[in-house]
Structure 1
Amino acid sequence: MTTAPNKHNLYPNENIRTVCYIKNLPSRPNVEIGDYTYYSDNSNSPENFYDHIQHHYEFLGDKLIIGKFCAIAEGVTFIMNGANHRMDGFTTYPFNIFAGGWEKVTPMLEELPFKGDTLIGNDVWLGQNVTIMPGVTIGDGAIVATNSTVVRNVEPYTIVGGNPASVIKKRFSDEMITLLLELQWWNWDENKLFDHLEQLVSVNDIATLKMLLND
């Protein structure tokens, strides 16, 4: 018999109210969250996850898309495209937002920098107080170290850290990364996941990986 936490519950473990499955929060426009992805917050309430998505205005149309089985630590912040200022003049000061006649220089949307959607893959671990800038893609299996600011794309199964974040190392060989991306264990059904939990959390050899691919 398979046992697993109920992915439809807000709290996967009712005894730990500092961790919640954020897909089960009330929906928000232009935000997509995968199953089992959680936010952990020991100093506040994890239900306030949306407070960490900043400058996200529906009329701009940019999306925050986060995959399955991601671990998002306390204080992670997503800066979206609404934070951008026009940069093609002598000044970046946003006169228009203060009205009083200054609104005459309100920019057209196409005049503002737009970096596109922010995409977080599957099985990504974002450490405490990480900041993700607009339009960044973080690949499957990546890890972002605490207090990092991510300003450019992160390749799958790569560890990055710093401000701006730079590559620390790849988690596995190129061959293993290719096989892991083919495996896509995060799309398994609950029965298959339960049967192979031990291999997923404690084994990292090519032979086991190929066995899982052929299972």
Structure 2
Amino acid sequence: MPSSSTSAPLRAPDPDTPYPLPNAKRVVFLKPHITRPNISVGDFTYYDSPIHPEHFQDDNVLYHYEAQGDRLIIGKYCALAHGVTFIMNGANHRMDGVSTYPFPIFGASWGEHMDLLGDLPSRGDTRVGNDVWLGMEAMVMPGVTIGDGAIVAARAVVTSDVAPYTIVAGNPAQVVRERVSPADAQRLVETAWWDWPTEIVNTHIRTLMTGDADKIIGVFNKLKKSTAEN
């Protein structure tokens, strides 16, 4: 039978769909479920958990108080496995005295010392780049930046920044290996393929999933040349 002269256009899933897999309610695109102003999640980032994945911002982002002023920023195309947890700056206690106990928060006459909690240490915003894979029950501590393309192993505790395209594991998380050379990591970050229009991503799925850095950079250079000519 001759093939049709036309084919259906390639389509990406809708990133605003709360449950992208109709028969798997354990998988959610996170962005539609985020309502807090101090949390930002990019398109197509998903969370996979059998236990109320739609409650991610309440169950998995802990000690996150607006008065603290810190933000959680997660990029696009990230994969978060069951139990991934973010500990935010509101978890901090004073450590410069003999006791770390937060007496003032319990009120009564203790509440008269609330000023002692006004200058708790803060490490700033917590940032997860794009195309990051966080394994089951990984824990990310306050103020950490995880670079684009990084992988965090199951049950790792991330206490410091993770470079792009690096694999870390353990408690505290340590570098296992680099996914690509530092030069290629920098070049891949510069392509920012996660910001390409979805129609471009659609046509390069196989390259993104199986190609090496040179192939992705080659696609990027062609796109850049085409844009310049137009």
Give the TM-score band, short-chain normalised: over 0.9
| 1:209 is the counterpart of 2:216 | yes
TM-score normalised over the length of structure 2: 0.89
Q: CA–CA distance in 2 between the matches of 1:210 and 1:22?
A: 29
Amino acid at match of 1:135: G
Decide whether the 8 Å contact of 2:33 with 2:55 is kept in 1.
no
The answer to whether 1:55 aligns with 2:100 is: no
Q: CA distance change for structure 1 residues 98 and 210 in 2, over 3 Å: closer, same or farther? A: closer
Give the partner amino acid of 1:18: R
Tell me the TM-score normalised to structure 1 length. Answer: 0.95
Q: Distance in 2 between matches of 1:59 and 1:3?
A: 41
Distance change >3 Å, CA 205–CA 182, structure 1 → 2: closer
List aligned pairs for 1:157-168, cutoff 5 A. Answer: 157-168=165-176
Equivalent residues of 1:2, 1:190 under 8 A apart: no
What is residue 83 of structure 1 aligned with on the other side?
91
| Alpha-carbon shift at residue 15 of structure 1 (Å) | 1.9
Q: Which runs of 5+ in 1 are unaligned?
A: none
C-alpha RMSD of matched pairs (Å):
1.3
Q: Offset at 1:104?
A: 2.6
Q: What SS does the corresponding residue of 1:65 show, helix, strand or coil?
A: strand
Q: What is the match of residue 106 of structure 2? A: 98
What SS is found at the alignment partner of 1:160?
Answer: strand
Matched, 1:23 2:37: no
Count of residues in Structure 1 that have an aligned counterpart in Structure 2: 213
Taking the aligned partners of 1:209 and 1:52, their CA distance within structure 2 comes to 33
Deviation at 1:210, TM superposition (A): 3.2
Task: Measure how far apart 1:122 and its partner are.
Answer: 0.5
Aligned to 1:11: 19
Q: Contact 2:34/2:40 (CA < 8 Å) preserved in 1?
A: no
Deviates more, 1:138-147 or 1:86-95: 86-95
Task: Give SS of 1:89's match.
Answer: coil
Q: State the match for 1:196 in structure 2.
A: 204
Q: Which has the larger radius of gyration?
A: 2
Summarize the alignment of residues 108-187 of structure 1 with structure 2, pairs less than 5 Å apart.
108=116, 110-187=118-195
Residue in structure 2 matching 1:45, options 26, 46, 52:
52
